[in-house]
Amino acid sequence: MPEPVVRSFGILKKCAAKVNMEYGLDPTIGKAVIQAGQEVADGKLNDQFSLIVWQTGSGTQTNMNANEVIANRAAEILSHKSGEKFVHPRSRKQIIVF
């Protein structure tokens, strides 16, 4: 995936977390998601985006990849293990669906 596309997902997810905090996202989780999104935007997590450019039309794979990477990194920021889904990438309850 081209680096500018990956970085733009970090910006998008960071902004979505800011808005979602206004609508009930736990601020502790929201701040961790914002920090993780910034790390993606800064290119620090590029190795986590191994998808190819050619995908089905909507780019769903890249969006879901970004959600997984950011949720896992946010969990790590909050001293939880990556992959244990403390910050869930698709939870409407946590409003992490960006």
Half-sphere exposure for 58 (CA within 13 Å, toward CB)? 4
Q: Is residue 82 part of a domain?
A: no
Q: Is residue 85 part of a domain?
A: no
- For 72, counting Cβ atoms within 10 Å of its Cβ (0-12 exposed, 13-18 middle, 19+ buried), the class is buried
Q: Is residue 88 part of a domain?
A: no
Q: Is residue 84 part of a domain?
A: no
Q: Is residue 89 part of a domain?
A: no
- Write out the residue range of the structural domain in which residue 50 sits: 3-77
Which residues 6+ apart lie within 8 Å of 97 measured at CB?
Answer: 67, 89, 90, 91
Q: Mind listing the pLDDT tens digit for each residue in 25-73?
A: 899 999 999 999 999 999 999 999 886 666 666 777 888 889 999 999 9
Domain harbouring 25, CATH code: 1.10.275.10
pLDDT for residue 94 is more than 70: no
Percent of the chain with pLDDT over 90: 54
Report the predicted TM-score, pTM, of the whole model to 2 decimal places.
Answer: 0.87
Closest of 44, 51, 49 to residue 77, by C-alpha:
44
